[in-house]
Amino acid sequence: MDIDDKLSQFDVVIIGGGPAGMAAALWSDELGLNSCVIDSASNFGGQLHWIYNPITNYLGTNLENGEAGFRDFSKSLSRRNFTQMLGCLATSVDVAIGNVLLDDGREIHARAIVVATGVRRRTLGVPGEVEFNGKGILDSGSRDKSEASGRRAAVVGGGDAALENALILADHADKVYLVHRGDRFSAREKFTKAVKRNGRIEVVLNARVREFGGSSDLEFVDIELASGGSSRIAIESAVVRIGVQPNSGLLRGIADLDAAGYINVDRECRTSAQGVFAIGDVANPVSPTISTATGSASSAIKCIAGSVRKTE
């Protein structure tokens, strides 16, 4: 099948090539299904490319970082038969006819559609957040820690990722302000205890970020305090870690989503839309992990393979 055809046909079309989509491709080949994986990025791997710390909690592996994980996962796929479509954004699905429409106008037809679109970082949506991205606002405390060296930094958020970033930056920056809108952190105890003990981290609770500002580079963050009043903190670096949101827009109005926008699935990873499955983080707010991503992929593909066999 030439993928340049306007309409290409498969047993399974998998939207998203993170760990869930990669595992779905592997299981499709394992079970003799003809599959296609679409990803809007220039490479598969999804969030693996955002992980700069070791991954020590995926059974049988001890990975230096997400890139190392991506390399190993890719090796598992190197001899597998499936079609890859990189740099292709899926813009809509037509459940009635089993079609996925791409941003370049092509359509992919399949007997089953698997949505593995993961999550994206939540943003504050305040002035300066986009303008100072890369000009003081760092993508990752772990990757960009040297940029905060000898500077004052702010980390925004109260979960594991925020506290972990604050602790990493505190090893390099002169001072780290940890700004959180709540009155307590939701992060695990190991991080909250370490933050309390760290003399370079100043915790600012009950505070909402209103603006990041500066002339050409980041110079300050303005915060509003729940007790009333506001404050301007001079900083040169910042990291925002206020959680993630599911990339479930493709199924909005088509399948059931929960209040936070995650796709509701049953134990076979079926959504409420006929022939449409959802796997990985986009359908798993409780356990957004590589294990769940790969495990849910095998559940969905086994279920699809069973249905395909019945109709043949």
Q: Please identify, among the stretches 9-17, 71-79, 131-139, 183-191, the one whose residues bind ligand FAD according to the rule CB under 6 A.
A: 9-17
The residue (of 35 and 247) whose beta carbon lies closer to ligand FAD is 247
Q: Which CB contacts under 8 angstroms, 24+ apart, belong to 218-224?
A: 218/128, 218/132, 218/135, 218/136, 218/137, 219/136, 221/154, 221/177, 221/179, 223/179
Binding mask 118-147 for ligand FAD (x = CB under 6 A): xx----------------------------
- Rounded to a whole number of angstroms, the minimum distance from the CB of residue 272 to ligand FAD is 19
- Hey, which residues between 209 and 268 contact ligand FAD (CB under 6 A)? 247, 250
What are the Cα distances from residue 144, in Å, to 33, 139, 165, 168? 42, 7, 10, 10
Instruction: Give the distance from CA 265 to its chain's centroid.
Output: 19
CA distance 118 to 46: 8
Write phi, then psi, for 25 (nearest 5 degrees).
-65, -45
CA distance 236 to 200: 15
158 binds ligand FAD (CB under 6 A): no
Binding mask 284-303 for ligand FAD (x = CB under 6 A): ----xxxx-x----------
98 binds ligand FAD (CB under 6 A): no
- Hey, which residues between 50 and 69 contact ligand FAD (CB under 6 A)? 50-51, 55, 57-58
The residue (of 198 and 245) whose beta carbon lies closer to ligand FAD is 245
Chain residues that interact with ligand FAD, rule: CB under 6 A: 15-21, 38-41, 46-48, 50-51, 55, 57-58, 89-90, 116-119, 247, 250, 280-281, 288-291, 293
